[in-house]
Amino acid sequence: MDANRWRLTRELFEAVVDLPRARWESRLAELCPDDAALREEVLGLLRADADATGGTAIAQHAPNVVAELAEHLSEDPTVHAGLALGPFRLVREIGRGGMGAVWLADRADGQFEQAVAIKLVRGGWDRAEDIARFRAERQILAGLSHPNIAHLVDGGMGEGGRPWLALEYVDGVDLGRWCDKHRLDLADRQRLFLTVCDAVQHAHQRLVVHRDLKPSNILVRADGVVKLLDFGIAKLIDADDAQVSATRVFTPEYAAPEQVRGETVTTSVDVYALGLLLYELLSGQRPYKVENSTPAAYERAILDQEPTRPSVAATRDGGGMSAANRHLTPARLRRELRGDLDAIVLKALRKQPTDRYASVADLAADVRRHLARQPVHARRGNFRYRATRFLQRHALAAALSAVAVLALVAGLGVALWQAQVARNERDTARQALAFMRTLFTNADPGQKQRGDLTARDLVDEGVRSVRRALAGQDAARADMLLAMGSAYLGLGLPDEAQPLLDEAGAIAQRLGDTLLVARILDETCSVLQYRNRADDCVPLVDRIEAMLDPSDPEHVETLVRAIDHRSTAHAPRNRHDAIVADSRRALALIPATADYDRLRADVTGTMAFSLVRLNRAAEAEAALRPLVDALRKAQNVEPRWLADVLDNFASTLTTKTDEALALNAEAVRLMESVYGADSPVIAGKVSNYGVALYKANRYTDALPVIERSIALNRAGGTPRATSLANALGNLGALHFQLGHDDASRAALNEAIELSEALQRPLDIGRALRWRANLSLAQARYADARADAQRATSVLAPLNKPESITVLRGRALNLAIDYAERGSAARTDAACAEAQGIAARFAALPEAGTPEARLATLLHALCGAAPAEAFKTAYAALPPDDFRQRQVRRIEAAWRTD
């Protein structure tokens, strides 16, 4: 019976079931006059229902019914406390389900300490069925042994013949809530889901279908271990159903269509339930929209509706909370779910069991393929499907043909392989040499009749020559195309680089050259990052890691650079712990030889950057100083390499201002010597120098440097947009510090607009906070409060609650309140907040900074001498610090009161 017919059948059944039996046929004829077969199906259901309930002998079961009702009405949680069952003694009730109550119990025989969960089968009017289900559950659990399934400890019959089961006690929370509480990203959620799949597959291998998989039956302990619970309605696949239950028992929200229709239950029921679970873990939503949260409404939705794609459901009603719980923006969450994950989940949720994954293992395998960035089977194309079906129909002929072809190929391969390799190597060497000769000839100004050839001219000529010089030599041509693409990117020309990388990638794929494919993917990562699409690089890095062998020396450099690229995607989300961990892993892969010094320096610089942001600057300095000393002594060091190392090292010298400034200035000069003073490529080093001057309180010196970095970024166009947004934020902060309020607001407005377009939450939050500070100094309190609160909403999900970033936001919001409301803002709650902020600042390395001193003022205003607090604050703050203006605003409000 299809879903529509079942829905009609159910509606007719519900419309007639309460009528006297004599009126069934006439009423059905009125409701369904044109479908005699459907009327017969409904009559069959009505008669079966009457037969099942007509012989219930309710009078015979009345004592049990009354006893159970009394037990529920009493709602006394201590009714069985202290009851001894076998070696256990009940402590307290911890749950109640369809079969009865679940109690926490302790071992009471003195042999050893043990806490268990004991199921007490309820007293019921169908007691024989309950006992049969109890025995089935005990038998099922006895046959399961898996670290992620709560195991059977003991069981027996209590006084009055009441059955009980002692199970492993799991002190945890359900899987969904645990993931949200720990704000796991999508990859970690999928890995936990795979743990559940392994447990369910273990049960299936032992011919057990759980039949009631749902979040409340999957708990996670405090140590992160997943436990699958409640096999109370599980089904033995090879058992006689009558021996277990003749009743349809399931949770409507997590039931498969065949369960709702009352059809045969197979392992596909659990596949469907796991699809629902994965849907919720990924999107934070349910796949069906129901008007009323009733069992009937859920059943109708399961039968009639097609599930909404997770990528669409995830951003329903904005999706802000779901995205924040996964360290993503709503737009990014939608993009992450679109494609593979949509396909995997929807395949698991197909209405017909035969259209789903054939097993839980197949579902898990597709999830693993997605995590490894490999093609998932849920998205197989039509051609492959048709080819597979053809081979299935002609299996014997196809097998014999394959054997014949393989034999022929093997014979020819043995005969021709050595000769072909020799010819290929000879031809490749000759054509590569010819290509290089042509390239150098073209570099001669006399040959081109011009004396102003640039690096761009040389690369352009090389690209035009590569196809002619290396015709027929695919491997060499792919290598040269990759080199030309890298050269374009080094010149800041990603749009010119990408087509060459695409062409090289197609050749490498055709050749089956794994390492070359990985190198091209890694360079494509560089292009994506240059285009402000670092997130899109992460799947490529995952593919590279899946392709390469870290124990193969030829693979190491590409693998390490790919891991280093992932850090660029982590940085905008403040995931510096992850960057440090990845960097240490990458450093451990690099051989301890001089050949890898450049690679080691790059990765160490990445790690140092994140260590500084984790307030571990001393570790960062210790890691980079030996490298700087070695480069100073070395001969013929590449200027670009030295500039990168010096710039990274300068950022670690947080308390050595003069040395840091000298290093930043030297890095800029080195970059200018290579690329020229007007190249957008040097904008990053110029910006870093300007920021260093700002941090040294040399505001007037910093202004032209930061303005220069902005001009260079603008000249670089779209590829420099991220750097431009960051530089504009720096310019806005600097103008504010110098008292140039209009210029500050203009720069910050542009920074916010550009950062929003680029979806850079850290840059958005920082610029908003600076604009809030500016509005506070200008007494524009409504604007200040709106920006401060929005900055908090953007930055808080990306930072730990105790971080300096969150602390700054709390202090700013409190300062705005004090400036707007004066002493009226001095409530008990505000004073407690001020005390907490001041105490936290005192425990951080930023204890002596102006922002920490402002926090001290906010706390001091809760004391008995506000005038003295203001006097102390003015004296403690640098005379040219913008917080002097904010203190004046607060003081004016306080004195007015």
* Tens-place pLDDT, residues 301-350: 787 777 888 888 887 655 567 787 887 878 788 888 888 899 899 999 98
Band (pLDDT 50/70/90 cuts) for residue 703 is very high
Query: Are residue 10 and residue 91 in the same domain, yes or no?
Result: no
40-49, 183-192, 240-249, range with greatest mean pLDDT = 183-192
3-state SS, residue 164: strand
Band (pLDDT 50/70/90 cuts) for residue 295 is low
Integer Cα distance of 477 and 463 in angstroms: 10
Q: What is the DSSP letter of 149?
A: B
- pLDDT tens sequence across 248-270: 456 777 888 888 877 778 889 99
Integer Cα distance of 420 and 426 in angstroms: 10
409 in any annotated domain: no
Query: Are residue 137 and residue 161 in the same domain, yes or no?
Result: yes
211 in any annotated domain: yes
What integer pLDDT is reported at residue 686 of this predicted model?
94
Strand partners, 95: 102
- pLDDT tens sequence across 530-581: 776 777 888 888 888 888 887 777 888 888 888 888 887 787 777 888 889 8
Query: When comparing pLDDT for 737 and 403, which is higher?
Result: 737
Residue 667 CB-half CA count within 13 A: 29
Give the domain-ending residue among 153, 169, 185: 169
Cα distances (angstroms) measured from residue 486 to each of 480, 482, 642, 717: 10, 6, 19, 19
Band (pLDDT 50/70/90 cuts) for residue 794 is confident
Strand partners, 105: 90, 116
793 in any annotated domain: no
632 in any annotated domain: no
What integer pLDDT is reported at residue 488 of this predicted model?
76
Question: Does residue 880 contact residue 737 with C-beta atoms inside 8 Å?
Answer: yes
Query: Are residue 36 and residue 63 in the same domain, yes or no?
Result: no
Integer Cα distance of 510 and 496 in angstroms: 23
Query: Are residue 87 and residue 152 in the same domain, yes or no?
Result: yes
The region of weakest confidence among 125-139, 257-271, 386-400, 450-464 is: 386-400
666 in any annotated domain: no
Band (pLDDT 50/70/90 cuts) for residue 142 is low
Integer Cα distance of 604 and 619 in angstroms: 11
- pLDDT tens sequence across 406-462: 444 444 444 343 444 444 444 444 444 444 444 444 443 433 444 445 556 666 666
Query: Are residue 211 and residue 90 in the same domain, yes or no?
Result: no
Integer Cα distance of 2 and 263 in angstroms: 11
Residue 743 has pLDDT above 70, yes or no: yes
Query: Are residue 258 and residue 363 in the same domain, yes or no?
Result: yes
Find where tokens 């300095």 sit: 621
805 in any annotated domain: yes
170-174, 277-281, 475-479, range with greatest mean pLDDT = 277-281
- pLDDT tens sequence across 233-253: 555 554 444 333 434 456 777
Q: Which residues contact 390 (CB under 8 A, 6 or more apart)?
A: none
Structural domain for 137, as ranges: 56-169
- Domain count along the chain: 4
3-state SS, residue 560: helix
* Element housing 130 (H / E): helix 127-142
Q: Which residues contact 356 (CB under 8 A, 6 or more apart)?
A: 268, 271, 272, 275, 347, 348, 349, 350
Query: Are residue 285 and residue 153 in the same domain, yes or no?
Result: no
Q: CA dihedral defined by 14, 16, 18, 24, rounded to 10 degrees?
A: -150
Query: Are residue 142 and residue 181 in the same domain, yes or no?
Result: no
**119 annotated among ligand-binding-site residues:** yes
Percentage of residues in the chain having pLDDT higher than 70? 77
Residue 856 CB-half CA count within 13 A: 21
Integer Cα distance of 291 and 306 in angstroms: 15
Query: Are residue 189 and residue 332 in the same domain, yes or no?
Result: yes
By C-alpha distance, which of 512, 533, 536, 595 is closest to 560?
A: 595
User: Helix crossing, 268-283 with 340-348: angle to 10°?
Assistant: 140
Query: Are residue 175 and residue 224 in the same domain, yes or no?
Result: yes
Give the domain-ending residue among 380, 401, 424: 380
444 in any annotated domain: no
What integer pLDDT is reported at residue 137 of this predicted model?
62
Structure tokens at 276: 């629902």
Question: Does residue 524 contact residue 540 with C-beta atoms inside 8 Å?
Answer: yes
| Active-site residue flag, 564 | no
Average pLDDT for residues 800-819, to the nearest whole number?
Answer: 88
Integer Cα distance of 81 and 93 in angstroms: 8
Query: When comparing pLDDT for 815 and 127, which is higher?
Result: 815
Query: Are residue 289 and residue 373 in the same domain, yes or no?
Result: yes
- Which candidate in 212, 340, 564, 763 is catalytic? 212
Tell me the Cα Rg of the chain.
35
117-126, 398-407, 425-434, 852-861, range with greatest mean pLDDT = 852-861
φ, ψ for residue 80 (rounded to 5)? -110, 5
Integer Cα distance of 368 and 376 in angstroms: 9
Length of the chain: 897
Give the domain-ending residue among 121, 144, 169: 169
pLDDT, the chain, mean: 78
- pLDDT tens sequence across 453-482: 555 666 666 666 555 555 566 777 788 888
Band (pLDDT 50/70/90 cuts) for residue 802 is confident
What integer pLDDT is reported at residue 668 of this predicted model?
93
Give the 3-state secondary structure percentages of the chain, helix then strand then coil, rounded to 5. 70, 5, 25
Contacts 24+ apart (CB under 8 A), 860-866: 861/818, 861/823, 861/826, 861/834, 861/890, 861/894, 862/826, 862/830, 862/831, 862/834, 862/835, 866/823, 866/894
Structure tokens at 693: 């001057």
Query: Are residue 184 and residue 309 in the same domain, yes or no?
Result: yes
What integer pLDDT is reported at residue 403 of this predicted model?
43
Cα distances (angstroms) measured from residue 36 to each of 27, 50, 265, 432, 810: 13, 21, 29, 82, 71
113 in any annotated domain: yes
Question: Does residue 623 contact residue 611 with C-beta atoms inside 8 Å?
Answer: yes
Report the CATH number at residue 120: 3.30.200.20
Report the CATH number at residue 203: 1.10.510.10
By C-alpha distance, which of 177, 167, 117 is closest to 141?
A: 167
- How many degrees, rounded to 5, is the angle at CA 161 between CA 158 and CA 163? 60
Structure tokens at 109: 């025989």
Percentage of residues in the chain having pLDDT higher than 90? 18
What integer pLDDT is reported at residue 276 of this predicted model?
93
Q: Given phi > 0 = left and psi -120 to 50 = alpha, else beta, which region is 387?
A: alpha
Residue 6 has pLDDT above 50, yes or no: yes
Q: What is the DSSP letter of 291?
A: S
- pLDDT tens sequence across 666-686: 999 999 988 888 888 899 999
What integer pLDDT is reported at residue 237 of this predicted model?
52
